[in-house]
Amino acid sequence: MVTAKKSVHFPSFDNEGDVQRLHPLKDLIRRLSETYGPSGHEDKIRELIRAEIKPLVDEMRVDALGNLIARKKGTGPAPRKKVMLAAHMDEIGVIVTHVDEKGYLRFAPLGAVSPLTLFGHRCIFANGTIGVFGREKKEAKATEVKLDQLFIDVGATDAIPAVQVGDAAGFWRAFGDLGNRLIGKAMDDRIGCAVLIETLRELRKSPHDLSFVFTVQEQVGARGAATSAYGVQPDLALAVAVTDTGDTPESNTMAVALGKGPAIKVKDSGMLAHPAVKNLLITTAQEGKLPYQLEVFSGHSTDAIAMQVTREGVPTGVISIPQRYARTSSEMVDFNDVQNAVKLLVSFLGKPLKLE
């Protein structure tokens, strides 16, 4: 078996000057988006986030499952409310299940991977090996292709490629800046991670003890949120995640669009937001004259579902960043929505929180 490559070059801008000209928050989003980190393999993205937040928090630790838990002590009188904020670090990906005699790889999904989004696209393994998703040349309509009809071509010339059974790959796609609109892989939920990091930068003080948790394995069942919430024991919890939109041609009917502000979740397929937490977020946005939307989503849930039902239950809400083209290598968000989500969180955390 070929050993891991010593020099790994992950995707970035070709022109170094383009990176230097990026808004600092956009550059953070770029670096988060482009970093490797499929579910269960979050080491690289965790180290990037750890370096970003180290000067901003009082304590940091990594729990047994791999969640990065950072604490910022409150300035209010004891007993202080414990607030947990969560965004997941992992991205969807694939894991190798078989290597054939010619070096082609078969794979299983890590998260909700659709075969319609894969053919001809690239993936990257932890050791820097790049692969292309191919499909069997059999009679089938594109919409009928299943994952077990796809393979990964890593350019092997024999049956010993640089990867093996059990190795995981994430999508490989560079970040794109379209002005207000940003495109990248793993915006779900690296954009939530960016919001939490920027909130730490902007938040001068809070009366509450805050735990900023960058969770693992959300894409395969909100596992990191479940274990970290059990340990943190919050009095109130918020997830920062992404949500779908209803603003593209003939899209599903949904009252969420890019550029109209962060969405405050009412419900999704897995959870009902706690009414008092939802109303506090709405009041905070209104008081700060911040744009916001209300989200009722029939699709997937978030880390909030696990935090909400930990121990004897936790009042939980969600701030969602509207996103197009979910679970592809070109997820799109609006930069103003991201900035307004930060403003909403900073205002929310900076004041007393009474659940009534």
Instruction: Quote the CA–CA distance of 248 and 158 in Å, as a whole number.
Output: 45
Residue 313 CB contacts under 8 Å (≥ 6 apart), including other chains: none
Which residue matches tokens 């796609």?
173
Per the CB < 8 A criterion, the answer to whether 305 and 222 are in contact is: yes
In the set 34, 218, 295, 331, the catalytic residue is 218
Which H/E stretch holds residue 119?
none
Q: In what order do the strands lie in the sheet with 181-184?
A: 176-177, 181-184, 331-334
322 phi, psi to nearest 5 deg:
-60, 140
Per-residue tokens: 155: 């350019």
Report the largest interatomic distance among the alpha carbons of the chain, rounded to a whole angstrom: 69
Instruction: Quote the CA–CA distance of 173 and 156 in Å, as a whole number.
Output: 21
Q: Does the active-site annotation cover 218?
A: yes
Which residue matches tokens 């078969």?
106
- Provide the strand spans (E) within 116-228: 122-125, 130-135, 150-153, 168-171, 176-177, 181-184, 209-215
Per the CB < 8 A criterion, the answer to whether 90 and 216 are in contact is: yes
Which positions are catalytic? 218
